[in-house]
Homo-oligomer: A and B are copies of this chain.
Amino acid sequence: MATPEDTRDIAHDIDAFKQAFRRLAAGVSVITGRTPDGLPVGFTATSLASLAAVPPMASFNMARVSTAWPAIEGTEHVLIHMLGSRNRAIAERMSGRHEDRFNGDHWQPGPAGLPLLKDVPAWMLGRIIGRHPHHGNAVVVVQIQDGALGADDEALLYFERAYHRLHPLD
């Protein structure tokens, strides 16, 4: 079906590229770490993906101007949290004002002293085994060293700049 949108050039039209990726729904996760100075940092991510099960590895993407980049560049470990629909407030907090992200009782010190979010469906301790810079951004690869499953939940999704839940297609 032809629409006026069809003519937009994704490679040179930033808005068209962003719109294309908005059409890809994504699960929501939060990555946390500590800077070499010990400050807790973290951010909501929609790029977390499994890389392999043997050995267990995962990847996520980030900007190298991000406040969390010093933790990725200068330390060895991060915590990865899969969010459920009960965790929406955490997703919003961890993508909001930096000074508010660790202001509350939604986290506690976890493995390796890293900020561990409470009451998430799953979390993992990742050892950083790859930092692959591309222009101002980087793909980060971790090998999973620890983790646990929490109480199950409906998935939390991000699509077209809003949070969503799922329902089965059939």
A residues apposed to B, CB below 8 Å = 1, 3, 5-11, 14, 16-21, 23-27, 29, 46-61, 63, 82, 84-85, 88, 119, 121-122, 124-125, 129-130, 132, 134-137, 139, 141, 144-153, 155-157, 159, 162-170
5 further A-B contacts with Cβ under 8 Å, apart from A10-B149, A24-B48, A46-B49, are: A20-B122, A25-B25, A47-B50, A57-B135, A132-B139
Chain B residues positioned under 8 Å from A141 (CB to CB): 132, 134, 139
Q: Please tell me which one of the listed residues B9, B52, B125, B136 contacts residue A63 in the complex, with CB atoms under 8 A apart.
A: B52
Q: Is the CB of A49 within 8 A of B61?
A: yes
Q: Chain B residues with Cβ under 8 A from A152's Cβ? A: 5, 23
Cα separation A61 to B141 with both chains bound (whole Å): 11
Residue pairs across A and B with Cβ atoms less than 8 A apart, 11 shown, are A3-B150, A9-B146, A10-B146, A16-B147, A24-B29, A47-B50, A49-B60, A50-B61, A51-B139, A157-B166, A167-B167
Number of copies: 2
| A50 CB to nearest chain B CB (Å) | 4
Complex alpha-carbon distance, A154 and B163, angstroms? 14
